[in-house]
Structure 1
Amino acid sequence: MLKKTKVLFAALAVSAPLMMGATSAWAGGLISIIVNDPANPYWLTEGNVAAAEAKKLGYDANVSAHKGDTNTESTLIDTAITNKSVAIILDPANADGSVGAVKKAVAANIPVILVNAEINQEGLAKAQLVSNNAQGAALGAQQWVQAIGEKGNYVELLGAPSDNNAATRSNGYESVLSQYPDLKKVGSQVANWNRTQGHDKMQSMLQATPDIQGVISGNDEMALGAIAALKEAGKLKNVKVGGFDGSPDAVAAIKAGELEYTVLQPVAIFSAKAVEQADNFIKKGSTGASSEKQLFDCFIITKDNVDKYTAPFVLSE
């Protein structure tokens, strides 16, 4: 049985509107925040929390989005340099492809703090703050086994291959599910963290392997797309679906009995912490952290504790 985990998350300003463009007055200087795609509530919260924390600490904040495109990311880094940013908070577009963008900022003597995803080179960013994806995936897989049982056919939806989190989560699932020989993975598809692609890939897997009892997904958006496809096929009642992120829509699906669980990433915690560490570096020349790479443990949300979800990506005790 899973050990029930409870955590108290600070009430952060996750409802603040996402800003596109610099604010007017300079306080401690401009912190440029570059997220992936604010159409996804996870990345929306990431930008909102970081911007709110920057303002709280006396900085201006500018939130923009690269939407997974490294060329756009590079342009946004150029803009941050031109705007004389005192720090950059970046959710990198690509583990390899974002290295050059970070190097440009470093060459301009602007400290870069990475959030949510890593790059495949250490010593450039002042810090890399990410969810403990391996721990979260193992936690989710254990909960998923409780839902589906120790026997059955299942499929997996994977995130973008350019994001190390996709492989880490998939490997974390495998580390648990491989212990159950009667659980058979009969299909897997890359759906790039996207709900529409999750729907379409689920449809194609249902056509190829209609006899499934479970779907395990690398994030909530893909899981929600799979749920829509399963509903259309009249199969959701007999298929258990698990997600990862802790998004408001996933929480609503848990309450509706459509999603078994979601793994909550503490994005509201590490987005604020990233700005705190940038502030420390600006003022003291050090982030104050003991290492560049920092992992933040994830938490499980099920029907048993879903009522403790008090704000986007915030689970209260």
Structure 2
Amino acid sequence: MKLKKMTSAFMVTVLILGLLAGCGSKETSGDGSKDQIIIGVAMPAFEDWFTYLINGMEEYDEQHDNVKVDMVDAKNDSGKQMSQVETMIAQGVDAIVLNPVDTAAISPLIDTANEANIPVVVVNRMPDEDAMKKIYAFVGSESLEGGTIQMEKVAEVLDGKGNVAIMNGTLGHDSVVKRTKGNKDVIEKYPDMNIVREATADYQRSQGMTLMENWIQSGGEIDAVVANNDEMAIGAIMALEESGKRGDIIVAGIDGTEDGLDYVKQGKLNVTTFQDGYGQGQSAIETAMKAVNGEKIENKFVNVPFELVTKENVEEYLKRLKK
């Protein structure tokens, strides 16, 4: 009788432990693999150019039944994004794809994720050197390359001589530093090309328009306006057209947004360089899956190259945006 009671008690204990173990583990298939991989994606915003990134990630999600992409919008609030990523870590997602609001603020988040054995892939906005050492990979386009390709085409159109005005994006951003450096590295190769104006328009069309208006009012000859993105370039075009000063001034942008490509098609924007946001989004999830599967990668920088766009090939890129 005593032995029967002990046996029953033992079986109940085993059953409880088994249930607890089941509650704490993720569902697996018969071969021991996970039925579904959860990738947490932290975006700075669900608008503007970021929609191309989002589309690429969502299409990967739709094409793979074993992958679930959980995406959150920080509404450009760094504190909100930190809280969202902390929640992902607490929920035990399999990997995190992070497009930072503030690249300088992400190192502690990466440390926390690493402690929980959750790999982090940063996309689009390159983190600093310290954070790069801690993440699985960075997926994006090399901004230095974008600025170089852009200015090389402008130099070709200007036949290697002329006065150039540079519109910077939001100061402090890695993309601004590198795109502008790419511009200046090219200009240094041409003794007859000079930078006569340089100021920030914060990546905004309205500010690009205001800055161009100020440059027009201050006088001086400008042969080319080279902007760190399409939005500022479009603002410059609007100001030049309204003032009747467009003439033969060359205007160049970067990113290849839908509006930017439309302006190229119309012959208003002479040059842009296409940043493949859709490709970055797809590649970010693919790279996160490699991390989940324990694959080792040779290079932490997964480059999605910039591509030169002019009126001659713009139709190809318009089709790519609409797929």
Q: Same fold (TM over 0.5)?
A: yes
Checking the alignment, whether the CA contact within 8 Å between 1:267 and 1:313 is kept in structure 2 is no
Checking the alignment, whether the CA contact within 8 Å between 1:93 and 1:163 is kept in structure 2 is no
Partner of 1:278: 288
Q: Distance in 2 between matches of 1:237 and 1:131?
A: 33
Partner of 1:21: none
- The one-letter amino acid paired with 2:93 is S
Q: In structure 1, which of residues 79, 101, 107 is the aligned counterpart of residue 109 of structure 2?
A: 101
Checking the alignment, whether the CA contact within 8 Å between 2:96 and 2:119 is kept in structure 1 is yes
Q: Distance in 2 between matches of 1:207 and 1:79?
A: 51
Tell me by how many angstroms 1:244 deviates.
0.7
Partner of 2:57: 50
User: Where do 1:1-317 residues align within 5 Å?
Assistant: 28-40=36-48, 42-57=49-64, 58-120=66-128, 121=130, 122-282=132-292, 284-286=293-295, 288-309=296-317, 310-312=319-321
Could you say which structure has the higher helix fraction?
Answer: 2
Q: Distance in 2 between matches of 1:276 and 1:102?
A: 19
Checking the alignment, whether the CA contact within 8 Å between 1:251 and 1:306 is kept in structure 2 is yes
Q: Distance in 2 between matches of 1:27 and 1:189?
A: 52
SS in 1 for 2:147: helix
Checking the alignment, whether the CA contact within 8 Å between 2:44 and 2:81 is kept in structure 1 is no
- The one-letter amino acid paired with 1:102 is I
Greater relative contact order (Cα < 8 A, sep 6+): 1
Checking the alignment, whether the CA contact within 8 Å between 1:247 and 1:313 is kept in structure 2 is no
Tell me by how many angstroms 1:305 deviates.
0.8
For normalisation by structure 2, the TM-score amounts to 0.81
Deviation sequence 1:140-194 (CA, Å, 0-9, x none)? 1111112333222221111223321111111111111112222221111122222
Figure out how many residues of one structure are paired with residues of the other and give that number: 286
Q: Distance in 1 between matches of 2:253 and 2:146?
A: 11
How has the CA–CA distance of structure 1 residues 38 and 69 changed in structure 2, closer, same or farther, with 3 Å as cutoff? same
- The one-letter amino acid paired with 1:46 is L
- The one-letter amino acid paired with 2:253 is G
Q: Distance in 2 between matches of 1:114 and 1:186?
A: 36
Deviation sequence 1:36-72 (CA, Å, 0-9, x none)? 33331x2111012112213423222233333543222
SS in 2 for 1:123: helix
Q: Distance in 1 between matches of 2:102 and 2:124?
A: 12
Tell me by how many angstroms 1:252 deviates.
0.3
How has the CA–CA distance of structure 1 residues 153 and 166 changed in structure 2, closer, same or farther, with 3 Å as cutoff? same
**5+ residue gaps in structure 1?**
1-25
4+ long deviations beyond 4 Å: none
Q: Distance in 2 between matches of 1:313 and 1:201?
A: 32
Which range moved further: 160-169 or 80-89? 80-89
Checking the alignment, whether the CA contact within 8 Å between 2:45 and 2:76 is kept in structure 1 is yes
Q: Distance in 2 between matches of 1:27 and 1:223?
A: 47
Tell me by how many angstroms 1:118 deviates.
1.2
Partner of 2:3: none
Alignment RMSD (CA, Å): 2.2
Identity %: 25
Partner of 1:14: none
Rg larger for: 2
Q: Distance in 1 between matches of 2:228 and 2:167?
A: 6
SS in 1 for 2:254: strand
Deviation sequence 1:65-96 (CA, Å, 0-9, x none)? 33543222212212322443222111122332
